[in-house]
Amino acid sequence: MLGPLSELLQHFIIRFLVLGGKCWESCPCSCSVCHFLWRKSSVNQYPWTQNEMFLFRATLAFVMRNHTGGEFGVSDIHVCGETARVSFWFVATWPNTTDLVDQGVVESAVRKMRNRINGAFLLTDQTLEFDGVLPTLAAPVPPDTPPWLIVFGVVMGAVSAGIIILLMYPLVHKKWKKNKKTDDGENEEETRVKTTENGADGIYNMSFSDDERFTKM
């Protein structure tokens, strides 16, 4: 049924199947509730060996111990249906018995200690999947001040400062100049109109300028 298998075992996928019910004796199971987990890609490349399988069973035993308090051992985790994709089914039995642990209990145990399982295999939620056990998503940490407000504050501060400087500078400059020399009514102070200094352009006529000062229109 499967096509040619690749001899490169650099990448693999671990698939766990938590069974409820006794169909673990015949794998692959045809139970109605099955959980698969597919690994999408591998970053950590280590070959999948029986030692890794042992680690998995040990980790699951540790997880079950933490969750239920029972003295689970490696022998209480049963694995079957292993494929080259590295996906398999597993079930847990209570210590010293052959009673299956309820699916819901196993699921909640896995869910709680997911990061420890991930860490044991140097994998992530995306690369190690427990079918049916959705990872609770990490809540993004909201920063105290949204960063965009900071940028906004910087920009607006600069703009406001610029506006105030541009508005105030001519006034201050004029007042300063006016304090240096006395003249009457050259500029009406209320208007705040400043003469634009257009530079050396325009048509300037010497004889005309004296009239300007005294003749008001």
Residues of this chain that interact with another protein (CB under 8 A) are 1-3, 5-6, 8-13, 36, 38-42, 83-87, 134, 136-137, 139-140, 147-152, 155-156, 159-160, 162-163, 166-167, 187, 190-196, 198, 201-205, 208, 212, 216-217
| Separation of alpha carbons 85 and 75, rounded Å | 24
From CA 96, how far away is CA 125, in angstroms rounded? Answer: 32
- Would the CA dihedral through 5, 11, 17, 22 be positive or negative? positive
Amino acid identity, position 25: E
CB of 52 to another protein, least distance (A): 15
* CB nearer another protein, residue 32 or residue 138: 138
Cβ burial of 147 (10 Å; 0-12, 13-18, 19+) is exposed
CA–CA dist 150, 141 (Å, integer): 17
For another protein, which is the closer residue by CB, 69 or 147?
A: 147
- Closer CB to another protein, 69 or 143, in the complex: 143
Minimal distance, residue 191 CB to another protein, in Å:
5
Q: Could you tell me the sign of the dihedral formed by the alpha carbons of 24, 29, 35, 38, in that order?
A: positive
In whole angstroms, the minimum distance from the beta carbon of 108 to another protein comes to 14
**Identity of the residue, 72 or 88, whose beta carbon is nearer to another protein in the bound complex:** 88
Provide the pairing of β-strand 129-130 with 77-80.
unpaired
- Closest separation between CB of residue 100 and another protein, Å? 25
Based on CB atoms, which residue is closest to another protein, 22 or 194?
194
CB of 17 to another protein, least distance (A): 13
> Which tokens sit at 138?
């990490």
Single-letter residue type at 52: E
Provide, rounded to whole angstroms, the least separation between the CB of residue 206 and another protein: 12
Q: Residues 109, 59: contact at Cβ < 8 Å? A: no
| 48 vs 94, beta carbon nearer another protein | 48
